[in-house]
A and B are shown apart, each in its own frame.
Chain A
């Protein structure tokens, strides 16, 4: 019943790294003191002692992810991630779960576009168990046939379940597939019903052998820890981890699209249309990042954003509308997301496009820039409050090879952004309203005619076991 849908996170990409320094506290956000070292096998380890509550959080990655999925088989990385803790080392799947949960710990692994990430938290007194479990999961997952079959089958059912109950959460999968096509960013990270069914245990084992290696990974630990003890224990646990068999392949940027096209995902009986409008945006090292964060905050990144004002506050057409840039090693997508009652589909799309047109055409008011600056600065410390936040943030910096200036220099950089810079990033990074992939999940019989207005239309069914229409 929340008033906001998910505007949080809209500021930046997944590991949201906006910043503060001025605003409330001129001292600014400082990266906590930490140690970074590499083992002889190439594993990078970062330790961040931060004593607040008696917990240790970890966050890490293995390069690869969906990017390393074999051709035509998206979902291998995701199955590998899911199977890491379903039997590893001396423990079978149940014993592993029981070891984690028995002490109140947590362990999670997930495949992203470019890496498999791991994260979790344990009570500090269980640090030794935590390290042992983590080493087993990364180095010695069993990847056995019974668990593989069960887990893969269940993942297929989960996709069906999401289609039954949460169309707004899956619209982006269709959007990225339609926008990026065969580029790795277009692959469904969790696979599709069809691709998962075709994946074999050998695919999963081969992926692990090729990508999981010490030289391809980094681990960050933050919280109630003694760095000296951790260093000794981690060295012991990870020293024998070998190197990855295959180097991580290069990722080429995907081209921006230059015209508009529409994909309808037919969900007969649906009472709303869930829509996604996107084009290729910018990468993680984009030089205009501070200005872009300020403009996107104003456009679709907070409650009073232009999009939410038009689609929700002024018109009552939707419960929420937002926009965000996903920034990877190469440009990810800029996407607008919202939904509205089926009959209002055209009206809501027109409004969304009109806001983008106005953004591209008009200049920002100085007062709007100041408001956005205060907002991003004021909210920043809340994203870097806990040891778990810092573990995730430092893992992110390590992955993208960004220095601590990415955090500490952000506040001062935000402070300097002027209207010329916001105009430049608006022209450069935001798509023209005539150059967008538009995805509509809704009742095709009722929105088909309307959709034609926006460009050539392709159709598929929500129940199709893939996320892109047959060619």
Chain B
């Protein structure tokens, strides 16, 4: 996936002095409440529907997770999954382009969607009074999407503008794209989700039609509803609107597996930059790997917050980076764990890289401390609670666990699962991930300054 207690009465008020705070304690793995409010069913056409009733506000969050992303693409149609996401708002046999949004907004709903390497997810946030309409709209675009050639051309411009914004006019976006494309020689994770420019300009209506037929089968989707509705209500609406859409042959599995990488790869980008960039991406396991929680905790220990290990070392102590971030990109297939550094103007990139390597070698050799691990577990727990405080966060988490881990119920165990991870497991995860011969290093710096005309050596004068 891409980018993404009991109250205790305190008697001792005197303990409020500045020195009263004991070492952080782990959050007790209290069971996450709510499992009994979640119900699921699978329709006759294979569409799984999961409903979590939460009546705090009179709204519903609907997430439709489609198991298709840029990993399902091939050369020539890169970016098509993402472009398709845009086209899902642009008209059906029953409704003109723009009607989807116009009708939904007129009943108080808003929507969005995102595409990653792995999935395409459609999101609606609506007042409960719009449920009927939204089911009608969602069913219509799953069953009857149509492609108006004029709209396809116009939307091509929109997507290219998105690419210019995020990639071509962004050093960070540009370097990350180059690193990801370099890291994989065979697997489609090498494709940028937004697509290569020539493909954005080149894909055809036939490509879209084929893509729709192949991937947008109800049995390739998972529908999540969270909010002010009962499970019975959600299931009845799903049956009425979505069950009539026939099951289809599921899309073919992605056959290609990435061959073992046997040596470090490096990619250099020269672009005007005041602040140089360094990315290091390590080959990593798939989302459902048993070591997943340990890798996530490892990355939290290394890069989350001002007390994280790499931030402290590189930003605060050595002052050789201004920012360091990292994450384990969890997908269906083995992917990457990223470290992204922004360096101050004039930085010695090689020195930064050496220091980073030293720090990673230390983690592999010596592991992490108890305090670091407790801190990471607490950050995981509080992030988790913040997410389930909203119907949107609940829909996102339920879907993530259902789609990537195979069972939404695992969401309710996840704080406890993370609580159980040991220091030894984190060290093992570090040893598995941080292997130099399985990484890709990307460096972005300004082009070397051209020597002034008078100083140019004669050999450079072209005939």
A interface residues, Cβ below 8 angstroms from B? 1-5, 8, 20, 23-25, 52-55, 85, 89-90, 93-94, 97-106, 121-125, 128-129, 131-132, 136, 150, 153-154, 157-158, 160-161, 163-168, 224-226, 229, 232-233, 236-237, 268-272, 302-304, 309, 312-319, 339-341, 367, 370-371, 374-375, 377-379, 381-382, 384-388, 463
Number of interface residues of B (CB under 8 A): 105
User: Which residues on B sit within 8 Å (CB–CB) of A269?
Assistant: 272
Judging by beta carbons under 8 Å apart, are A161 and B322 in contact?
Answer: yes
**Chain B minimum-CB-distance residue to A463:** B274
B residues 48-72 touching A (CB-CB < 8 Å): 56-59
| Minimum C-beta distance from A332 to chain B (A) | 24
Q: How far, in angstroms, from A122 to B383 measured CA to CA in the complex?
A: 10
Q: How far, in angstroms, from A319 to B381 measured CA to CA in the complex?
A: 36
Given contacts A319-B161, A386-B390, contact A271 B307 (CB under 8 A): no
Given contacts A3-B89, A52-B389, A339-B161, contact A128 B20 (CB under 8 A): yes
| Minimum C-beta distance from A445 to chain B (A) | 14
Judging by beta carbons under 8 Å apart, are B164 and A341 in contact?
Answer: yes
B residues 272-319 touching A (CB-CB < 8 Å): 272-275, 304-308, 312, 315-316, 319
**Chain A minimum-CB-distance residue to B127:** A24
User: Which residues on B sit within 8 Å (CB–CB) of A8?
Assistant: 110
B78 CB-CB contact with A under 8 Å: no
Q: How far, in angstroms, from A98 to B308 measured CA to CA in the complex?
A: 8
Judging by beta carbons under 8 Å apart, are B9 and A229 in contact?
Answer: yes
Judging by beta carbons under 8 Å apart, are A94 and B316 in contact?
Answer: yes
Interchain CB contact (< 8 A) of B98 among A125, A304, A317, A370: A304
Judging by beta carbons under 8 Å apart, are B171 and A98 in contact?
Answer: no
User: Which residues on A sit within 8 Å (CB–CB) of B113?
Assistant: 2-3
Judging by beta carbons under 8 Å apart, are B165 and A164 in contact?
Answer: no
A-B contact pairs, 19 of them (CB 8 A): A1-B2, A1-B193, A20-B58, A53-B389, A101-B304, A104-B381, A123-B382, A125-B6, A125-B7, A132-B16, A150-B316, A160-B345, A225-B7, A229-B10, A272-B164, A303-B105, A341-B160, A374-B108, A378-B109
Instruction: Identify which of B113, B156, B157 gathers the most chain A CB atoms within 10 Å of its CB.
Output: B157
B interface residues, Cβ below 8 angstroms from A? 2, 5-10, 13, 15-16, 18-21, 23-25, 27, 30, 56-59, 82, 85-86, 89, 97-98, 101-102, 105-116, 125-130, 153-162, 164-165, 168-173, 193-194, 228, 272-275, 304-308, 312, 315-316, 319, 322-323, 342, 344-345, 371, 374-375, 377-383, 385-386, 388-392
Q: How far, in angstroms, from A93 to B312 measured CA to CA in the complex?
A: 10
Judging by beta carbons under 8 Å apart, are A233 and B58 in contact?
Answer: no
Judging by beta carbons under 8 Å apart, are B389 and A55 in contact?
Answer: yes
**Chain A minimum-CB-distance residue to B111:** A303
Interchain CB contact (< 8 A) of B56 among A52, A129, A161: A52
User: Which residues on A sit within 8 Å (CB–CB) of B106?
Assistant: 367, 370-371, 374-375
Interchain CB contact (< 8 A) of A316 among B158, B164, B173: B158
6 closest residue pairs by CB, A with B? A378-B108, A316-B157, A104-B378, A24-B127, A104-B382, A316-B154
Q: How far, in angstroms, from A123 to B377 measured CA to CA in the complex?
A: 13
User: Which residues on B sit within 8 Å (CB–CB) of A167?
Assistant: 169
User: Which residues on A sit within 8 Å (CB–CB) of B391?
Assistant: 382, 385
**Chain B minimum-CB-distance residue to A314:** B154
Q: How far, in angstroms, from A117 to B389 measured CA to CA in the complex?
A: 23
Given contacts A272-B169, A463-B274, contact A379 B316 (CB under 8 A): no
Instruction: Identify which of B106, B154, B273, B345 gathers the most chain A CB atoms within 10 Å of its CB.
Output: B106
Judging by beta carbons under 8 Å apart, are B274 and A164 in contact?
Answer: yes
Q: How far, in angstroms, from A129 to B22 measured CA to CA in the complex?
A: 10
Q: How far, in angstroms, from A304 to B102 measured CA to CA in the complex?
A: 6
Interchain CB contact (< 8 A) of A123 among B56, B126, B381: B381
Given contacts A23-B127, A382-B57, contact A2 B114 (CB under 8 A): yes
Q: How far, in angstroms, from A232 to B375 measured CA to CA in the complex?
A: 29
Q: How far, in angstroms, from A90 to B19 measured CA to CA in the complex?
A: 8
Interchain CB contact (< 8 A) of A97 among B20, B108, B306: B306
